Amino acid sequence: MLSRRNPQLNRHGELIHLLSIEGLPRATLVQILDAASSFLMEGREVKKVPLLRGKSVFNLFFENSTRTRTTFEIAAKRLSADVLNLDIARSSTAKGESLLDTIANLSAMHADMFVVRHSESGAPYLIAQHCAPHVHVVNAGDGRHAHPTQGLLDMYTIRHYKQDFTQLSVAIVGDIVHSRVARSDIHALTTLGVPDIRAVGPRTLVPGDLREMGVRVCHDMEEGIRDADVIIMLRLQNERMSGAMLPSAGEFFRSFGLTADKLAKAKPDAIVMHPGPINRGVEIDSSVADGQHSVILPQVTFGIAVRMAVMSIIAGNDAR
Amino acid sequence: MLSRRNPQLNRHGELIHLLSIEGLPRATLVQILDAASSFLMEGREVKKVPLLRGKSVFNLFFENSTRTRTTFEIAAKRLSADVLNLDIARSSTAKGESLLDTIANLSAMHADMFVVRHSESGAPYLIAQHCAPHVHVVNAGDGRHAHPTQGLLDMYTIRHYKQDFTQLSVAIVGDIVHSRVARSDIHALTTLGVPDIRAVGPRTLVPGDLREMGVRVCHDMEEGIRDADVIIMLRLQNERMSGAMLPSAGEFFRSFGLTADKLAKAKPDAIVMHPGPINRGVEIDSSVADGQHSVILPQVTFGIAVRMAVMSIIAGNDAR
Amino acid sequence: MLSRRNPQLNRHGELIHLLSIEGLPRATLVQILDAASSFLMEGREVKKVPLLRGKSVFNLFFENSTRTRTTFEIAAKRLSADVLNLDIARSSTAKGESLLDTIANLSAMHADMFVVRHSESGAPYLIAQHCAPHVHVVNAGDGRHAHPTQGLLDMYTIRHYKQDFTQLSVAIVGDIVHSRVARSDIHALTTLGVPDIRAVGPRTLVPGDLREMGVRVCHDMEEGIRDADVIIMLRLQNERMSGAMLPSAGEFFRSFGLTADKLAKAKPDAIVMHPGPINRGVEIDSSVADGQHSVILPQVTFGIAVRMAVMSIIAGNDAR
What distance in Å separates the CA atoms of residue B28 and residue B8, rounded to the nearest whole number? 11
Q: Which residues of chain B are within 8 Å of residue C109 when distances are taken between CB atoms?
A: 70-71, 74, 300-301, 303-304
pLDDT at A110: 86
Buried b / exposed e along B123-139 (16+ C-beta atoms within 10 A): bbbbbbeebeeebbbbb
Residue of B nearest to A77 (CA): B82
Residue of C nearest to A85 (CA): C70
What distance in Å separates the CA atoms of residue A170 and residue A158, rounded to the nearest whole number? 10
Q: Which of C64, C74, C299 sits opposite A110 (nearest CB)?
A: C74
Q: Which residues of chain B are within 8 Å of residue A298 when distances are taken between CB atoms?
A: 108
What distance in Å separates the CA atoms of residue C68 and residue C139, rounded to the nearest whole number? 11
Is residue C200 within 8 A of residue C221, CB to CB? The reply is yes
Cα–Cα separations (whole angstroms), residue C164 to A77, A311, C171, C197: 43, 43, 16, 15
What distance in Å separates the CA atoms of residue A271 and residue A154, rounded to the nearest whole number? 11
Distance to chain B for A24, nearest Cα, Å: 27
Distance to chain B for C193, nearest Cα, Å: 43
Q: Mean pLDDT throughout B39-46?
A: 76
- Does pLDDT of A249 surpass 90? no
| Residue C9 buriedness (CB in 10 A; 0-12 / 13-18 / 19+) | middle
Decide if A279 and B104 are in contact by the 8 Å CB cutoff. no
| Residue B264 buriedness (CB in 10 A; 0-12 / 13-18 / 19+) | exposed
Nearest CA to C29 out of C11, C43, C8 is that of: C8
pLDDT band at A99, cuts 50/70/90? Answer: confident
What distance in Å separates the CA atoms of residue C148 and residue C18, rounded to the nearest whole number? 7
Cα–Cα separations (whole angstroms), residue C122 to B318, C129, C139: 52, 11, 9
Distance to chain C for A88, nearest Cα, Å: 8
Tell how strand C40-41 and strand C45-46 pair up.
antiparallel
What distance in Å separates the CA atoms of residue A1 and residue A183, rounded to the nearest whole number? 15
Q: Which of C53, C90, C97 sits opposite B277 (nearest CB)?
A: C97
DSSP label at A257? -
Residue of C nearest to B66 (CA): C91
Three-state DSSP at C82 gives: strand
Question: Over the stretch B57-90, which tens digit does the pLDDT of each residue have?
Answer: 999 999 888 889 999 999 999 999 999 998 776 5
Is residue C53 within 8 A of residue C76, CB to CB? The reply is no
Question: Over the stretch C123-168, which tens digit does the pLDDT of each residue have?
Answer: 999 999 998 899 999 999 999 899 999 999 999 999 999 999 999 9
Contact partners for chain A, using 3 or more CB pairs closer than 8 A, are B, C
Best of A79, A86, A95, A135 to mutate (most C CBs within 10 Å, chain C): A95
Distance to chain B for C32, nearest Cα, Å: 28
pLDDT at A242: 57
Question: Over the stretch B121-167, which tens digit does the pLDDT of each residue have?
Answer: 999 999 999 988 999 999 999 998 999 999 999 999 999 999 999 99
Q: Which residues of chain A are within 8 Å of residue C278 when distances are taken between CB atoms?
A: 97, 101
Is residue A58 within 8 A of residue A86, CB to CB? The reply is yes
Q: What is the percent of chain B with per-residue pLDDT over 90, rounded to a whole number? A: 77
Nearest CA to B46 out of B303, B295, B314 is that of: B303
Q: What is the percent of chain A with per-residue pLDDT over 90, rounded to a whole number? A: 77
- Does pLDDT of A46 surpass 90? no
HSE at residue B219, side-chain half, CA atoms within 13 A, is 7
Best of A58, A105, A131, A135 to mutate (most C CBs within 10 Å, chain C): A105
pLDDT at B155: 98
Decide if A67 and B92 are in contact by the 8 Å CB cutoff. yes
Q: Which residues of chain A are within 8 Å of residue B60 when distances are taken between CB atoms?
A: none
- Does pLDDT of A217 surpass 90? yes
Query: C260-263, long-range: CB within 8 Å, 24+ apart, which pairs?
Result: C260/C285, C260/C287, C260/C288, C260/C291, C262/C221, C262/C222, C262/C225, C263/C225, C263/C231, C263/C288, C263/C293
Question: Over the stretch B158-203, which tens digit does the pLDDT of each residue have?
Answer: 999 999 999 999 999 999 999 999 999 999 999 999 999 999 999 9
Alpha helices in chain C (DSSP H): 26-39, 66-78, 99-108, 123-130, 148-162, 180-191, 221-225, 249-256, 260-263, 286-289, 296-315
Is residue B142 within 8 A of residue B123, CB to CB? The reply is yes
What crossing angle do the helices spanning C26-39 and C180-191 adopt, rounded to 10°? 100
Q: Which of B53, B86, B107 sits opposite A66 (nearest CB)?
A: B86
Is residue A236 within 8 A of residue A249, CB to CB? The reply is yes
Question: Over the stretch B270-293, which tens digit does the pLDDT of each residue have?
Answer: 999 999 999 999 999 999 999 999
Nearest CA to C221 out of C267, C172, C268 is that of: C172
pLDDT at B95: 57
pLDDT band at B1, cuts 50/70/90? Answer: very low
Decide if A109 and C71 are in contact by the 8 Å CB cutoff. yes
Cα-based angle C5, C8, C13 (whole degrees, multiple of 5): 70
Distance to chain B for C140, nearest Cα, Å: 21
Instruction: Write the CB contacts of B172 (distance below 8 Å, at least 6 apart in sequence).
Output: B182, B185, B186, B197, B198, B199, B200, B232, B234
Low pLDDT (below 50) residues in chain C = 1-3, 94
Q: Which residues of chain B are within 8 Å of residue A78 when distances are taken between CB atoms?
A: 82, 110
- Does pLDDT of A1 surpass 50? no
Instruction: Write the CB contacts of C276 (distance below 8 Å, at least 6 apart in sequence).
Output: A92, A105, C67, C235, C296, C299, C300
* Number of other CB atoms surrounding residue B208 within 10 Å: 9
Q: Which residues of chain A are within 8 Å of residue B84 when distances are taken between CB atoms?
A: 70, 73-74, 77
- Does pLDDT of B2 surpass 60? no
- Does pLDDT of A36 surpass 90? yes
Higher pLDDT, A22 or C87: A22
* Number of other CB atoms surrounding residue C223 within 10 Å: 13
What distance in Å separates the CA atoms of residue B204 and residue B253, rounded to the nearest whole number? 15
Q: Mean pLDDT throughout A113-132?
A: 93
Residue of C nearest to B84 (CA): C84
Decide if C54 and B77 are in contact by the 8 Å CB cutoff. no
Phi–psi pair at A185, nearest 5 degrees: -65, -45
What DSSP string runs through A52-101? TTT-EEEEEESS--HHHHHHHHHHHHHTT-EEEEE-GGGSGGGGT--HHH
Residue of A nearest to C87 (CA): A87
Distance to chain B for A117, nearest Cα, Å: 15
